[in-house]
Copies of this chain bind each other. A is one copy, B any other.
């Protein structure tokens, strides 16, 4: 069931028609709905593994004694995981997560970012007004910029990441 859905997502299709997935999984539509109340929950279930990996990477990044490196690591990881797993990108962008597990993962990701941001702020390594939710939204935005309406390619992605990193630096003199 999740395998059938995963096959579709990996094939670049995020639509995930419940009827079609059910048939491919050799199961009735009703069973589908008994396990996943909505398409959103199905996507969250699909993204769960990547999400757990991301949270682990985020914790590692936050533990880095070199704060600048930690911040870069956090943002890079969030961005890369979104590009690797479109389902995760969708879940992260959608703000209101439905399943308890995903909500927990999101809360932990934001808490980790909060922690890292506090340290970075204390050292003047980041603009004072950037929040964890900003990082979530901005990485989703960069992902969107790099992929929406035709892939922009890896060079462009690096460019956007670099622009974001520079953009959140504290002002030179202001």
A interface residue numbers (CB < 8 A to B): 93-96, 127, 129-130, 133-134, 137-138, 140-146, 148-150, 152, 156, 159-160, 162-169, 171-172
Contact = CB atoms under 8 A, between A and B. Distances in A.
Contacts of A94: 148-149
Copies of this protein, total: 2
A163 B160 contact: no
21 contacts: A93-B144, A94-B148, A94-B149, A95-B148, A96-B150, A133-B152, A137-B145, A137-B148, A137-B160, A138-B160, A140-B148, A141-B145, A141-B146, A141-B160, A144-B145, A144-B148, A162-B167, A163-B167, A163-B168, A166-B169, A167-B168
Most buried by B among A130, A140, A163, A172: A163
A171 B168 CA distance: 13
Given A95-B148, A144-B145, A144-B148, 14 more contacts: A94-B149, A130-B163, A133-B152, A137-B146, A137-B152, A138-B145, A138-B160, A140-B148, A141-B142, A141-B148, A141-B160, A162-B167, A164-B167, A166-B167
